[in-house]
Chain A
């Protein structure tokens, strides 16, 4: 079957190469040196930064996205607001990469629009290096995380039956009781699942960060760039592959948890 051959060559083989070569040295002899290299301070820092950026932007995206989804879900199900928000989110969730980085440079960069406006109004300079560091990445990633959350979480909110609220009320429960004992317990698994999805999404993102940060490599994908573009140091050819393996492991753990949560949430929400 041509499909299996194709996927084998361009998807499975590259992944297997990463996994195997992470345990080979420059001459193809088996070694644990590359993986041991991951304990180096600068690499551990990169992993920590990556996790901080992904977790923070996932949390911001999940909370704001869930609120926006709630606003949409409680509105008219066939109304213009809902159509506009879901279409916009479909587009914006896809909007990452170089253009997004430039849009933020144009806004809060050294000569950005907002920077100039604040400078004129308050006399303070809000630009600076923060945009090109971990803090900046969190802000920029939120731009595609919030819409992604809306897309992922809206079906869960739609699955909440109004009869459940009526049932709670007819049993004498207050709004608070309803939220605490019905809505929140049901929505927790899909919310956590979406949170993990957003984490993986930010953790794997490369283009946005690469366009924003041209010097230095605070996060893992950029460390891989450094490893790939400066393969001159002898005996370290496969450190990039060890880094890639580290990314695969983390994403695999996150996505496994996500699918477990999905199973759990499908009990109540269809």
Chain B
């Protein structure tokens, strides 16, 4: 997740513009050449799905198998590595650090982006292309390149804040999540008539802060929730920046554990993965609800 592998428009609903029922593959009854071809195609379909399914499931299953191995060749299955995750203080602190970073990043990213995007839409539509370009730029600049350039910036930040706590990482993380927050907020803003809403609120005497907090945000809760979940998923999976800045977040801890306690590192890998799966599943549920609301 920390990788650049996030170009996909995860969390952004893809319009279902499939022509319904048009490309049916159910073979018509009878034994014509078309039906034979249909049946053969069905067989190939299932074979493809099966093979790819195996390719994607095998590593996950292997992770589970490895994490429940006992020490020694004939040792029975054990959940000991899983238990050690919560009892080992050495893993608790990076987990907490990553969680705190996740919260900080989501809050700052939303505080920065919601007013900016609402403002651009209302008052400065001329710079919307520039904002879009800037927000999507982190997808193009590899994280490792960003790290190289961030070193000098961070030495200033440390001096200014008089701290080099791991939590300072959230400055960089906000940049990493920018494209995802932008896309999901953009989809949210598209769905509401923000101009009418804000003019109505303004004519009733509301100031801009009130408009943001009481009008804009409540009207796009699912987009805001979407962004926050994505932020958490990305920050919990971040490795590149933390490891090169010599901080110990969750992923760095997993990687270090791999050298000393393989079974436990496999267990915590799977745990962090399942956490991300649940987050992204929640995300697709939020998306589906939004789509259904949009249709109603």
Main secondary structure of the interface of A (DSSP, over half): helix
Closest residue of chain A to B141, judged by CB?
Answer: A15
Give the contact-size bracket for chain A: 35 or more
Closest residue of chain A to B268, judged by CB?
Answer: A99
Q: CB of A113 within 8 A of chain B?
A: yes
Chain B hits for A147, CB < 8 A = 8, 56
Q: How far is the CA of A215 from the CA of B140 in the complex (A)?
A: 27
Known contacts A1-B116, A14-B153, A74-B25; A97 and B140 CB within 8 A of each other: no
8 Å CB contact of B62 from A6, A10, A11, A114: A114
Q: How far is the CA of A100 from the CA of B67 in the complex (A)?
A: 14
Q: CB of A192 within 8 A of chain B?
A: no
User: Interface segment, A39-47, A65-73, A121-129, A260-268?
Assistant: A65-73
Q: CB of A158 within 8 A of chain B?
A: yes
Is the Cβ of B240 less than 8 Å from the Cβ of A206? Answer: yes
Q: Which of B22-79 contact A (CB under 8 A)?
A: 22-23, 25, 45, 48-49, 52, 55-56, 58-63, 65-67
Give the contact-size bracket for chain B: 35 or more
Chain B hits for A224, CB < 8 A = 144-145, 147-148
> Quick one: which of B21, B148, B281 has the most chain A CB within 10 A?
B148
B181 to chain A minimum Cβ distance, whole angstroms, is 11
Q: CB of B19 within 8 A of chain A?
A: yes
Known contacts A71-B49, A161-B19, A203-B142; A106 and B25 CB within 8 A of each other: no
8 Å CB contact of B140 from A17, A94, A103, A251: A251
B10 to chain A minimum Cβ distance, whole angstroms, is 5
Chain A hits for B222, CB < 8 A = none
8 Å CB contact of B276 from A6, A94, A146, A205: A94
Chain B hits for A204, CB < 8 A = 3-4, 142-145
Q: CB of B85 within 8 A of chain A?
A: no
Is the Cβ of B175 less than 8 Å from the Cβ of A206? Answer: no
Is the Cβ of A104 less than 8 Å from the Cβ of B3? Answer: no
Main secondary structure of the interface of B (DSSP, over half): helix
Is the Cβ of A15 less than 8 Å from the Cβ of B149? Answer: yes
Chain B hits for A241, CB < 8 A = 148-149
B258 to chain A minimum Cβ distance, whole angstroms, is 6
Is the Cβ of B66 less than 8 Å from the Cβ of A94? Answer: no
Q: CB of A191 within 8 A of chain B?
A: no
B47 to chain A minimum Cβ distance, whole angstroms, is 10
Q: How far is the CA of A104 from the CA of B150 in the complex (A)?
A: 31
Q: CB of A32 within 8 A of chain B?
A: no
8 Å CB contact of A206 from B3, B265, B283: B3
Q: CB of B233 within 8 A of chain A?
A: yes
Chain A hits for B150, CB < 8 A = 10, 14
B260 to chain A minimum Cβ distance, whole angstroms, is 13
Chain A hits for B178, CB < 8 A = 7, 11
Known contacts A102-B258, A200-B140, A221-B142; A77 and B16 CB within 8 A of each other: yes
Known contacts A6-B174, A13-B149, A255-B140; A207 and B269 CB within 8 A of each other: no
Is the Cβ of B62 less than 8 Å from the Cβ of A94? Answer: no
> Quick one: which of B10, B18, B153 has the most chain A CB within 10 A?
B18
Q: How far is the CA of A228 from the CA of B245 in the complex (A)?
A: 10
Q: CB of B244 within 8 A of chain A?
A: yes
Chain A hits for B147, CB < 8 A = 224, 228
Known contacts A71-B48, A75-B25; A102 and B8 CB within 8 A of each other: no
8 Å CB contact of A247 from B67, B142, B152: B142
Closest residue of chain A to B142, judged by CB?
Answer: A204
Q: CB of A144 within 8 A of chain B?
A: yes
Q: How far is the CA of A95 from the CA of B140 in the complex (A)?
A: 18
Q: How far is the CA of A161 from the CA of B65 in the complex (A)?
A: 46
Is the Cβ of A151 less than 8 Å from the Cβ of B9? Answer: yes
Q: CB of A18 within 8 A of chain B?
A: yes
Contact with A along B244-285 (1 / 0, CB 8 A): 100000010011001100100110011011001100110110
Q: How far is the CA of A94 from the CA of B232 in the complex (A)?
A: 13
Is the Cβ of B240 less than 8 Å from the Cβ of A92? Answer: no
Q: How far is the CA of A113 from the CA of B49 in the complex (A)?
A: 22
Known contacts A71-B45, A106-B63, A113-B66; A96 and B56 CB within 8 A of each other: no
Chain A hits for B19, CB < 8 A = 77, 161-162
A-B contact pairs, 7 of them (CB 8 A): A7-B178, A11-B175, A73-B18, A162-B19, A207-B239, A211-B239, A252-B140
The 3 closest A-B pairs by CB, nearest first: A14-B149, A204-B142, A96-B3
12 new A-B contacts at CB < 8 Å, known A11-B137, A103-B62: A14-B153, A18-B145, A73-B18, A90-B280, A90-B283, A91-B281, A93-B10, A95-B1, A98-B2, A152-B7, A221-B142, A244-B149
